[in-house]
Copies of this chain bind each other. A is one copy, B any other.
Amino acid sequence: MKTIKIVAIFVLLSLSAFSQENTNISSKWIWYPGDFEVWLHREVGGRRQERGQAYPPFWRVDSPYGLVRFEKMYESSKSDTIRIYADGRYHVRIDGKVVYDFDPKKLVLPAGKHRLHFLVENYKTFPSLLVQGKTVFTNEGWQVTIQDQIFYPAASGNFTEVGLPPSTFHLDYVPITSKILEKGANSMLVDFGKETFGKVIVEKVKGKGKLRMYFGETRQEAMAETQAETFDYLDINRSVNKNDTTAAHAFRYIYAVWDLNVAIDKISALYEYLPVENRGSFSCSDSLLNRIYDVSLYTLHLNTRELFLDGIKRDRWVWSGDAYQSYLMNFYTFFDEDINKRTLYALRGHDPVETHINTILDYSYYWMIGIYDHFLYTGDTAFVRQIYPRMKTLMKFCLDRANANGFVEGLPGDWVFIDWAEIEKTGEISFEQLLLARSLEAMALSAKLANDREYAGRCQKLSEEIRQKIFNVFWSDQKNAFVHSRKNGVLSNVVTRYANMFAILFDYVDAEKKQKIKKHVILNDSVLNITTPYMKFYELASLCEIGEKGKAIEFVKDYWGGMLKLGATSVWETYDPKQTGDAHYAMYGRPFGKSLCHAWGANPVYLFGKYLLGVKPTVPGYKSYLIEPSLAGLEWIKGRVPTPNGNIEVYMDKKEIRVKKVRGEGTLRIRSAKPPKVQEGVTYSLTGDKQYEIQLALPQKEYTIRYWPIK
């Protein structure tokens, strides 16, 4: 996460983005930036049901703008005949004059320089437009406005087919079957073998009466009937071969109970999923870690849908802090840039900003930092520029709420989350100040990309000031750590892990302080332990950053392995090894309130890719990158890490490292007791104590290095 030195490349990137546009000759559906995502968020957020009750989000949910104007100034030596496809009612104007009596399949545009403008109205989904012509066709080069005098470059994506505007976006389906575990006269318990998500199909339904289906991530939950978090009642009144009238749900088990006059044969489902490619991979000599990787990847995929969900059973909402981890995991698995962008826009919604994202203080900051991380991995300048106005209004909202010390704290209506833990959440929390400082850095870098230099300078300066104040106020030489908080001017004497591990991750502390934090916080069992995979993510990453990869891996085996031992087929929302029995499934005061398939639990896919395979970009978009593989006590590791330029492949055992590079300036960094043996023409240099850096600069892609592990 060292991302501070990459400013110089920005201008270069932005130029290449421009030149690319001019060579694009295919037309795309275009829309108002963010509104495809605002629409998705509205649809997805509204789907939650809890024990029979509709349960939409408890934050402001925006609707897309229903009336949007698309504009293009064109200049052409010849007239052009265009075909017009609009998702909504519309009219066309040329140079401001409405065009009457035309055939949308062949509207002739006059030669010369003209302003073309389409006003499209759609209040059901959202307006979008596709224009096909030789010289005039829709793409990001068009301007768009909601008629508020503000114009943006139009948004677009992978929607190019005439009949398939973005509002037709949908997930894919594939049939899956279940095994009957129990069958009574009017009931049945079925098992799909693992956690899954889909539309339930009841086969060979007959008779007349009620059919009740209770969905369970565990057998216990399904059997608990209305104590299950989700269930559906169907009214059966005729015989059908396949009844698929229920909404899609998460389940492994389904307990079905029907009235005496009803009969069913079996229950299957249509598995619902986002088609993504597993570009990343990981395997190693430890079969438990391999299983943990597989279960994590499956958990991530189940939550990778229209948007990144927190979990698939319960709220199925989009949460910024949860999603932030999914963006990062995505970079080591699917490298699906679109779902990151969709989720970021969905979370932000429209102006005005009136509350924190998801109402959570920390979650506004993760949102800003997330955009920066997305840029670091993808190099997508256009996206940063497109979303930048909404970053700025959110940051203004955040800064307007800072206190007289320039620190942020929870104001009435704000939720200070940090983690599910019994900790102080009022007053000035050191952790929140760190997130603010990092957000200001992200803003500064984004502002530069958007050519808003004055604001970039302000944010950079403010970030530095806040970092200095964090040290002055919260660092305790006595505790050798940051303390948790200050309230009414009184410093807490409690140390928690949060600020300390983020200070390492953000590289805000020097080597000496890192060692102090490692000893007095991270590896100190008297400091409150973390019981969510959510914060484990940062704890394990910080362990890796301070050279304790072996410990991190042991930890993964204990903690994730613990869930697997309890029969988990996906990773849980929280896991406390001290609990026993069905207590594991309870949360929020409900016996099955806990999500057993929570995206934040999938973080081993990120840890293994970033810290074992050791791959990360050092210049945005993998223009340069580092490969620093580590066995962390294993016999061998092997895997792929996706980049915008293809997949990097890494293999390592106790003698040899093999790497397949991609376009970009790649460096392999290893530690070896003796100078490594490399192919002819490969150069390397000694860059530290027994540390060598090998430039992957040959024309060929594959490299094999012999090295000598340090005992």
Q: Are A60 and B354 in contact (CB under 8 A)?
A: no
Q: Are B60 and A148 in contact (CB under 8 A)?
A: yes
Determine how close the nearest CB of chain B comes to the CB of A350; give it in whole angstroms: 9
Can you name 11 A-B pairs with beta carbons within 8 Å? Answer: A42-B66, A46-B123, A50-B100, A52-B100, A54-B91, A54-B121, A55-B91, A60-B67, A60-B148, A61-B147, A149-B413
Which residues of A, 42-93, contact B by the 8 Å Cβ criterion?
A: 42, 46, 50-61, 63, 65-67, 69, 89-91
A352 interface contact, C-beta 8 A: yes
Nearest first, the 6 closest Cβ-Cβ pairs linking A and B are A148-B354, A149-B413, A54-B89, A53-B91, A61-B67, A63-B63
A135 interface contact, C-beta 8 A: no
- Choose from B42, B100, B149 the contact partner of A53 (Cβ within 8 Å): B100
Q: Could you say which residues of chain B place their CB within 8 Å of the CB of A124?
A: 124
Q: Are A98 and B413 in contact (CB under 8 A)?
A: no
A477 interface contact, C-beta 8 A: no
Residue of B at shortest CB range from A67? B61
Q: Interface centre among A46, A53, A57, A413, by most B CB within 10 Å? A: A53
Q: A150-B354, A351-B352, A355-B149 are in contact. Are A56 and B67 (CB under 8 A)?
A: yes
Binding site for B on A (CB under 8 A): 42, 46, 50-61, 63, 65-67, 69, 89-91, 98-101, 119, 121, 123-124, 146-150, 226, 351-352, 354-355, 412-413
Determine how close the nearest CB of chain B comes to the CB of A81; give it in whole angstroms: 19
Q: Could you say which residues of chain B place their CB within 8 Å of the CB of A121?
A: 46, 54, 56
Q: Tell me the complex Cα distance, A122–B101, Å.
A: 37
Q: Tell me the complex Cα distance, A25–B60, Å.
A: 31
Q: Could you say which residues of chain B place their CB within 8 Å of the CB of A412?
A: 149
Q: A46-B121, A63-B66, A63-B123 are in contact. Are A53 and B98 (CB under 8 A)?
A: yes
Q: Could you say which residues of chain B place their CB within 8 Å of the CB of A98?
A: 50, 53, 55
- Choose from B42, B56, B147 the contact partner of A60 (Cβ within 8 Å): B147
Q: Tell me the complex Cα distance, A563–B664, Å.
A: 78
Q: Tell me the complex Cα distance, A69–B359, Å.
A: 15
Q: Tell me the complex Cα distance, A101–B231, Å.
A: 12
- Choose from B42, B65, B90, B101 the contact partner of A52 (Cβ within 8 Å): B101
Additional A-B contact list (5), CB under 8 Å, known A42-B123, A54-B121, A57-B67? A50-B98, A53-B91, A54-B90, A148-B354, A149-B412
